[in-house]
Structure 1
Amino acid sequence: MSLERVKQYFREKGMDGKIQEFSSSSATVDLAAQALHCEGCRIAKTLSFHIDNRVVLIVAAGDTKIDNHKYKEYFGKKAKMLSFDEAEPLIGHAVGGVCPFAVNEGVEIYLDESLKRFDTVFPACGSSNSAIELTIHELEEYSRGLGWVDVCKIH
């Protein structure tokens, strides 16, 4: 269902033909990199957080993790990730397929600076076995992000 929402979203943009589906799981950075035959750092993982009553998604490079100090400095709160059970009802996509496309109304999306070192990246498309290759400009346009943040560190 979630994949279909994303397909419809990209169909309206004339981009649905770019979505790739795999016979194996791409639910983690490592699995997605294997399925796509690319470096894990080019997987655009989408991390989901609570900030008070808000749901915030941060799209970041696959080789990063949240820098708690930078996160708190930017958002004014300690990072608190959504639980597995909260993801689908609050975002519209289940864990393993969370992406910045066709999300529920009110979900805030930010792109982390860690992505800017790549020409193209691979975010998921709403399922645990899908992805799309996008330029950084396309990711910015299609994610409808609220802006760029610097809240991650390479690990």
Structure 2
Amino acid sequence: MSLESVKAHFKKWNRENDVQVFEQSSATVDMAAETIGVIPARIAKTLSFRGEEDKAILVVAAGDAKIDNKKFRDTFGYKARMLTAEEVVEQTGHVVGGVCPFGLAKDLDVFLDVSMKRFETLFPACGSTNSAIELTCEELEEYSYAKDWIDVCKGWNEEQQEATA
């Protein structure tokens, strides 16, 4: 059902046939990178957090980025608390390993982390543990109906920070 809802979502842009379905699992960043043949950083992972009033928020980030709790709290005004696997399915309609900001079960706020802006294209999942689509940052923003670009991650630009320090 989840893969179908994502394909239906992409029909609006005639992109449903661009969704790739793989024989093997792409449920983790490393598995997806190996399956697709790209570096892990180019996998756009969707992280699900408890928002306000029992509504989840989604943060899409580069595969090598990790949530920075201080930046998250400064941005959203509350602590980063990830959803349980059951809550993820209830809020997004997607299973863990296939979570994406497309074809969602509920109308959720989607935010894109700046960690992805260093790439021409990225590969978010498409609602199943063996699917993805190649998108530019602009397409990802448009197709996910993202509210904003934010900076809530660490770990992806440490080399850059060390070089400028």
Contact in 1 for aligned 2:89/2:95 (Cα 8 Å): yes
Runs of 4+ in 1 over 4 A off after TM superposition: none
Larger Rg: 2
Greater mean deviation of Cα atoms: 74-83 or 103-112: 103-112
Q: Which blocks of at least 5 consecutive residues in structure 1 are unaligned?
A: none
CA distance, structure 2, for counterparts of residue 105 and residue 6 of structure 1? 13
Number of positions where the alignment pairs a residue of Structure 1 with one of Structure 2: 155
Say which SS state the counterpart of residue 27 (structure 1) adopts.
Answer: coil
On the 8 A contact 2:62/2:115 being kept in 1, the answer is yes
The aligned counterpart of 2:5 is 5
Query: Does the CA-based 8 Å contact 1:49-1:81 persist in structure 2?
Result: yes
Contact 2:25 2:31 in 1 (8 A): yes
Matching residue of 2:69: 68
Q: Find the aligned partners of 1:113 and 1:25 in 2 and give their Cα distance.
A: 27
Report whether the alignment pairs 1:17 with 2:17: yes
Pairs within 5 Å for 1:48-127: 48-53=48-53, 54-127=55-128
**Distance apart, 1:128 and its partner CA:** 0.2
Aligned partner of 1:32 in structure 2 is 32
Structure 1 residue 12, shift from structure 2 partner: 2.5
Q: Could you tell me which amino acid in structure 2 is paired with residue 40 of structure 1?
A: P
Percent identity at matched positions? 54
Give the match's secondary structure for 1:72: helix
Alignment correspondent of 1:151: 152
Q: What TM-score do you get using the length of structure 2 for normalisation? A: 0.91
Question: Residues 10-33 of structure 1: CA distance to partner in whole angstroms, max 9, x if unpaired?
Answer: 123100121111011000000000
When you count strand as a share of all residues, which structure comes out higher?
A: 1
TM-score, normalisation: structure 1: 0.97
CA RMSD of aligned residues (A): 0.9
